[in-house]
Amino acid sequence: MRIKIYFDEDVPSSFANALINRGVDVITTQQAKNLRQSDAKQLLYATAEKRVVFTHNKRDFILLHKEYLQSGKEHSGIIISDQLPTSVLLKRFMKLWFSLKDTNMKNRIEFLSSWR
């Protein structure tokens, strides 16, 4: 099954709209009414909804990923990216989306910079 995405609140809505227009299942923190929630709560929500978190917040989500692995907890995946123009994000994300299934993302971090 294709990856379903949960956007952290720092990801621009223009990118969410571009993905939605291409058939990607995207929910934003605004839509989920999770604004100003901690990163830990964002990851919990995404995991409960079987969605991969997309974020620009490298440091905190890498730490959360390590914490999950060390404690034996599972998450649906995390995609981390630098803040880039929407066109660049879109090109890289679509390569990832067409290459990986949701099962490939379980307990995994992907850096969008690897998908040039």
What are the residues whose beta carbons fall under 8 Å from the beta carbon of 64, sequence distance 6 or more? 39, 40, 43, 75, 78
Q: Average pLDDT for residues 36-45, to the nearest whole number?
A: 97
Note whether 17 and 24 are within 8 A (CB): no
Q: How far apart are CA 21 and CA 8, in angstroms?
A: 19
CATH 3.30.530 for domain 5-114, yes or no, is no
pLDDT at residue number 81: 97
pLDDT at residue number 21: 97
pLDDT at residue number 19: 97
| Domain extent listing, the chain | 5-114
Q: What digits encode the pLDDT tens for the residues 81-103?
A: 999 999 999 999 999 999 999 99
Note whether 79 and 102 are within 8 A (CB): no
Q: What digits encode the pLDDT tens for the residues 55-84?
A: 999 999 999 999 999 999 999 999 999 999
Q: Are β-strands 78-80 and 109-111 bridged in parallel, bridged antiparallel, or unpaired? A: parallel
Q: How far apart are CA 1 and CA 37, in angstroms?
A: 28
